[in-house]
Amino acid sequence: MNKKILSRIAIFVIAVYLLVPLFISLTGRSDFYYTLTSVALLSISSAGVWLTFYIGRINIGQGAYSLAGGYVSAVLITQYGYSFWSTLPLAGLFCAGLSVFIGLPILRLRGVYFAMVTLILTEVMRLTALALPITNGAKGITSLPLPGALEVFGITLIPDFSTLENPKIAFYLMAITMMIIVYAVLWRIVNSRLGHLCRSLQQNEELASSIGVNTTYLRVLTYSISSFFGGIAGASFVAITQSVYPSSFQIADSINFMLNCFLGGLGYVFGPMLGTLMLYFGWDLLFMIGKYQMLVYSSLLIILMLFLPNGVLSLLERKEKRS
């Protein structure tokens, strides 16, 4: 990792941990904590979708795994007395296991065929949540407690959120820390031997298979990691809202996860993070134009795809080449 990348990471860390809280405290807009927490968690799910793109698959079903992760966490907390911190990895592992079961047959498909199959996954998950008694149907699961203290060997690493004066700050720090860890893992995967093998699938699966690459294993492994990210993001959302419903994640959310990757840049590890930020705040700004919101929104997306097919981060690359 060169000095330029390290300096950018250092600036980002200082900004999210120091400058953003300082700005919010000065303006008194504590509601920004919830907004930025949502952006961080949505970018985690989008990171999983980006990883699926990395092996040449268009994933429009991440909302299904976010919804499943949310319900796993909620059920374990309300019915079995688990703490939120223990349900977080369990939700991710459940979604990873579920994705292996689903992915083995459908990952053989490519292009629009795989995309169309994943598109229905979120609706299937929503209908499943409506039908199962354990999920409480359309009523959902409500009145979940705030995350309790996380203790290791008697040492309190994270305090009980219910004892804090402003839990929004704690949720913000939790989401930002999770986001940084997820993108660090994603960057490490891309720059490892596994990442190079995954890139070979994106380019030519037949050629990769002919030289001994286990393409089935790689496809399923990356898809399970992608779904793990979706699961922990969904579980975290449930902790913030203290409830989960079958409509908590819908098909529109799955499409937005995909759009976040396009907007930021499919060729950049941190593309989904920037894309999520742009789409989230851009959509809110478009509320000001009323009934023309969807028209302007779709037009801007088309323009961006035409003139910036590699995403907004490609502008930074162009600038570096010119200099």
> Tell me: the pLDDT tens digits for 129-180?
999 999 999 999 999 999 999 888 888 888 999 999 889 999 999 999 999 9
222: tokens are 């990356």
Identify the band that residue 16 occupies on the pLDDT scale cut at 50, 70 and 90: very high
What mean pLDDT is predicted for residues 266-276? 92
Identify the band that residue 104 occupies on the pLDDT scale cut at 50, 70 and 90: very high
What mean pLDDT is predicted for residues 283-295? 78
What is the pTM assigned to this prediction?
A: 0.94
Reduced to 3 states, what is the DSSP secondary structure of residue 204?
Answer: coil
The answer, yes or no, to whether residue 1 has pLDDT greater than 60, is: no
Distance of CA 278 to the CA centre of its chain: 15
Cα separation, 261 vs 49, in Å, equals: 7
pLDDT value at residue 289: 77
Count how many domains the chain has: 1
> Of the ranges 5-9, 127-131, 160-164, 197-201, which one carries the lowest mean pLDDT score?
5-9
Containing structural domain, residue 41 = 3-322
CB 146 within 8 A of CB 87: no
Predicted confidence (pLDDT) per residue in 297-307, tens digit: 888 888 888 88
70: tokens are 């949310």
The answer, yes or no, to whether residue 61 has pLDDT greater than 90, is: yes
Cα separation, 307 vs 323, in Å, equals: 21
Cα separation, 217 vs 238, in Å, equals: 32
pLDDT value at residue 318: 67
